[in-house]
Structure 1
């Protein structure tokens, strides 16, 4: 059981972008990097965060508007329910139930909308990073490039992150240090998580 778990973890984190061996007798050369770290250093990451925040705020404002309308109708119903005709009261109750269902459905679709927005913004940048990694690996003779999240130990010169950043037009000397393998967090997931928590509170 333990071996199966280890294999799953390795399969999840080990990113073999491609084999760049030019001949059968070329020595094995393995490099490592962190795609999430690279993404954080790119100017696009700030724009992604800003766009997601804007989209999230728009969705939250719509949700607040729905809540406000529901609360107003609920209070009006509670004040007049005792004197309402049965038919009118049942109609109001049905209206409130439909509004409540609409709010719940909006919460679900809003979360999906935010995730789709995030994917549409992040995927092109990840593709650009992937291309840069492959180019650096080929130019520098790396047979494989793995995620440093799967790396337990390795030489510092195996980290190709500075070369990838340079390939992407970012000065490696002006960025933060490469994070520890277990410490990386996708920048783009933060707005989505924050939004989800906010909606639960409302």
Structure 2
């Protein structure tokens, strides 16, 4: 498809979806690491911590790939129409450039106005397309995040994790459980 920028999952989209989780995870981690209440000797063991890459879930999971394909097919017709309109505008602009020296002043102004109107229409349709596409992608990815959260909670309960973080600056592969979550999501 020609509009690759419209169909790419960006890191900023993942960051937007996960930004509230960062604050919650930091607060929970801070509270658990700096608790001031005395802990009984039996409970004094290292906390089991895991990490899940939200970006990888939204890029590599089977549901994310299916959602991406579904969205692309839903928007393909509109994308093709935008490409056709852009090609028509380009053709008309080239024709105008070629004909401009022999056109009368009134005809030249009329065709310039037509080209400006076509360009404005194209820009408006592109903005609407991008807004609709982003809204639809966010709907699909929100559902995937909810499924991933359920899978993460299940893994945490089954394997006894005290905390699972979803965003971090650096992560040891030893605590990265993203592959387990991907498998739980079917891919």
The reply to whether TM is greater than 0.5 is yes
Counterpart Cα distance in 1 of 2:182 and 2:144 = 13
Structure 2 equivalent of residue 122 of structure 1: 141
Q: Tell me the TM-score normalized by structure 2.
A: 0.60
Structure 1 residues 85 and 34, CA, compared in 2 at 3 Å: closer, same or farther?
Answer: closer
Q: CA RMSD in A?
A: 3.7
1:110 aligns with 2:129: yes
2:161 aligns with: 142
CA distance change for structure 1 residues 16 and 72 in 2, over 3 Å: closer, same or farther? Answer: same
- Aligned partner of 1:183 in structure 2 is none
Segments of structure 2 that go 5 or more residues without pairing to the other structure are 1-19, 33-38
Aligned residues: 155
| Pair 1:58-2:67 in alignment | no
Q: How does 1:1-40 map to 2 (within 5 A)?
A: 16=25, 26=43, 27=45, 28-40=47-59
| Structure 2 match to 1:164 | 181
Cα deviation, 1:89-109, whole Å, max 9, x if unaligned, reads 322221111112222233333
Once the two structures are superposed, residues 53-95 of structure 1 have per-residue CA deviations (whole angstroms, 9 ceiling, x without a partner) of 3355434311221123323433554455455454443222211
Kindly report which structure 2 residues correspond to 1:27-106, keeping only aligned pairs within 5 A, or say none. Answer: 27=45, 28-40=47-59, 42-55=61-74, 57-78=76-97, 80-82=99-101, 84-106=103-125
Shift of the alpha carbon at 1:124?
0.3
Q: 1:17 to 1:134 in 2, by over 3 A?
A: farther
SS of equivalent to 1:48: helix
1:51/1:64 CA distance change after superposition, 3 Å? same
CA gap 1:111/1:148 in 2 versus in 1, 3 angstroms: closer
Which consecutive aligned stretches of 4+ in structure 1 deviate over 6 angstroms post-superposition?
Answer: none
TM-score if structure 1 supplies the norm length? 0.57
Q: Which runs of 5+ in 1 are unaligned?
A: 1-10, 176-202
